Amino acid sequence: MAHRDDIQGLRAVAVLLVALGHAGVPFLSGGYVGVDVFFVLSGFLITGILLAEFADRGRISLSNFYLRRARRIVPAAALTLVVTDIAGHHLLNFVRAREAVNDSIWSALFAANVHFARQGSDYFAQGQPPSPFLHFWSLAVEEQFYFVWPSLLALLLAFRFRRLLIFLVVVGAASLAWSIHLTAASPATAYFSTFARAWELALGAALAVAAPHLRRAPGRVGLACGWLGLLAIGYAASAYTESTSFPGSAALVPAAGAALVIGAGLAARQTALDVGRVLALAPFRYLGDRSYAFYLWHWPVLILATEYAGRGLPLGARLGLLAFAFLLSVTSYRFVENPIRGMKPTLRVGGLLWPATATAVALVAVIILVSTDRAAARLDAAAAAVHPAQLVRASQPVKTQSLDAVVAAVRQAERGAPLPSSVTPSPSNLRGDFYTFPDGCSPGPGKTSSKICRLGDARSSKTIVVIGDSHAEMWMPPILRMASRDGWAVVPFVKPRCIPRSWTSKGECGKWYRWATRRASGLRPDVTLVIGSWMAVWKPPRAIEPVRTLAATMKRVSPGVIVVGDVPGQKRDPTDCLLARRATMATCTSEATRVQLSTNRTIAANARKDGIGFVDTLGWFCAHPRGSSTRYLCPLIVNKTVTCVDRGHISRTYGLELAPEFRLAFRRALFS
């Protein structure tokens, strides 16, 4: 386990792929595979160090191992966490700063992957801006590996277990199989899962175990393997995209590539043409030495700058930010990481390193949370003072026109009027103003069925079935209020994430859709409401046909079928827009796109042609600007009410204010 310059060069390649991929360099859309290279490297290096110690001393000192790891990892990570928390407090709005602080605490405990996996499985959290600590998930995976593997390896070696390679192959194969399964069932969970990534670490560990045999490989084999491995990494980094099903089997390419490069460096008779000679060049070694610090700094610099600007930054600006992050990494490496790593503290002092740094992060977090709680309390008090009488009300909706309050909000946006001094719901917790079903009434991630719930007037013989995705869920408050008033039982068949274009798939959403259609048909409801998300950028037929098919299917068993129109939503996250510097009604107003309007018109026309009711919701959120009869502007605030909790879902408060409008439109569609 002598120092290898080519390993440092491979570190440089991995961190460059990650950083440039995060910066949005066009030909590196799969730069995230650099993390997989790091996993294989970690498995190889840690296992090799432990085996070398056992061969030299006949035992493994776990206390010394963890002391070395703490000196290597904890100080630089803690510095990044503290500085980023402080910077976020000054640069971000208080809601994002508070979220970042919460993320930093999980990161300090090396449990970030668990935290972000839980967020990733939350459909309504996925549209939120990324955390400045999102990249700490990979450090958490490695730390969890460090926590388990050295102790297990020491135990196996103590009992003279001689089948280490077979053991690693079996464990790695099981992890890979689980990764492939979980990636198909729940991609967000699989991406952050230690168990789904363990095979990559096991691959590196197996390389270390097999190192004595690999050293006997001919030089020409090493030459071929090295360049083939680097080519595999480069292919994955350039060919993969965000839509690639990852990790799963796709992670085999970069992981195997990293293993080939590492193994090539073990082969005998290295020549000038070997990939290791290239990776050992001074620039690669220099960056490789600082790769850990660069990895820590690059992501928060990119995210904080983008969030502060309130818009996407051009590529040149992002590359400039990476250069700044690299300067930070050089500084922290020179004055923090390297000096502390070179120290030889006592075991007692070293054992306090992680608790001490975690306490420092927690202390900074508490100070920031106290400050943000004060800001939240002020906004909450202002929101509570908004009287319902001030909110939108309309007794006679007009089919072809927008509500007066919406028109007034559009006129305010055209004038560039300031935002109201107080709005409801409070911007401090917009996402909390969303209806959620009682437990078990909606299938969660990975599930294709749920229990059948009767809501509203549950004892009523009149039944409304609601079928759709999260956009059906967002309309439940006015639906349930109408049901309570008019004596309807409401039975929801709603699964977030399963938008109409996924209803014909063979995957999870397709299975749920077929189950929901069968069960809903069996109820023979008096009315069926079809509600889904189709106002997006994909080609309209992908949304139109599934909606039309579902409506036609339910018409055979349901006397009344009504399709509820979708809403355009917002182009920017409402929380960030409301709390942005110099925010106005204009900056918090979006325009419906031609595709959105065309899709909605086509679905409405199909409904009329097929004898199915249609509730047009566009005028409840958008209105024509002056001088145009084709454009629609959609303000975020209508008469002091925030209409959306995120870019695609309406707020519960605004939904309830629209309950009279919804009831009248429902009755018109049902009885016309």
Residue 396 banded pLDDT, cuts 50, 70, 90: very low
* Alpha carbon distance 156, 164 (integer Å): 8
Which residues, including other chains, have CB under 8 Å from residue 30's CB and lie 6 or more apart? 21, 236, 237, 238, 239, 240, 241, 244
* Alpha carbon distance 605, 601 (integer Å): 6
pLDDT in tens, 167-203: 999 999 999 999 999 998 888 899 999 999 999 999 9
Name the residue among 156, 178, 135, 190 with its Cα closest to residue 51: 156
How confident is the model at residue 390, as a pLDDT? 45
Here the tokens at position 453 are 């719930």
How confident is the model at residue 539, as a pLDDT? 52
Here the tokens at position 108 are 């300090």
Please tell me what DSSP assigns to residue 490: E
Instruction: Give one word for 160, left, alpha or beta, with left for phi > 0 and alpha for psi -120 to 50.
Output: left
Residue type, 634: C
133 neighbors 104 (Cβ within 8 angstroms): yes
pLDDT in tens, 345-356: 665 556 677 788
pLDDT in tens, 570-602: 999 999 999 998 899 999 999 999 888 988 899
Here the tokens at position 476 are 């439940």
Output the CA angle 592-593-597, nearest 5 degrees: 80
Lowest mean pLDDT among 221-230, 357-366, 400-409: 400-409
* Alpha carbon distance 479, 472 (integer Å): 10
Residue type, 106: W
pTM to 2 decimals?
0.90
Name the residue among 508, 440, 434, 518 with its Cα closest to residue 472: 434
Here the tokens at position 163 are 């089948």
Name the residue among 531, 505, 499, 514 with its Cα closest to residue 449: 514
Distances (CA, A) of 591 to 129, 597, 636: 21, 10, 11
Residue type, 15: V
186 neighbors 123 (Cβ within 8 angstroms): no
| pLDDT higher than 60, residue 538 | no
| pLDDT higher than 80, residue 399 | no
How confident is the model at residue 266, as a pLDDT? 86
User: What is the chain's mean pLDDT, rounded?
Assistant: 91
DSSP 3-state helix, strand, coil percentages of the chain (rounded to 5)?
Answer: 65, 5, 30
Residue type, 70: A
Task: Report CA 647 to chain centroid distance, whole Å.
Answer: 15
Task: Identify which has the larger pLDDT, 619 or 213.
Answer: 619
Residue 383 banded pLDDT, cuts 50, 70, 90: confident
261 neighbors 232 (Cβ within 8 angstroms): no
108 neighbors 388 (Cβ within 8 angstroms): no
Backbone angles phi, psi at 22, to 5 degrees: -65, -30
| pLDDT higher than 70, residue 393 | no
For the chain, which domains are there?
A: 5-100+108-353 (no CATH), 388-671 (3.40.50.1110)
Name the residue among 558, 463, 467, 476 with its Cα closest to residue 514: 467
Output the CA angle 299-300-306, nearest 5 degrees: 95
* Alpha carbon distance 502, 510 (integer Å): 6
pLDDT in tens, 468-487: 999 999 999 999 999 999 99
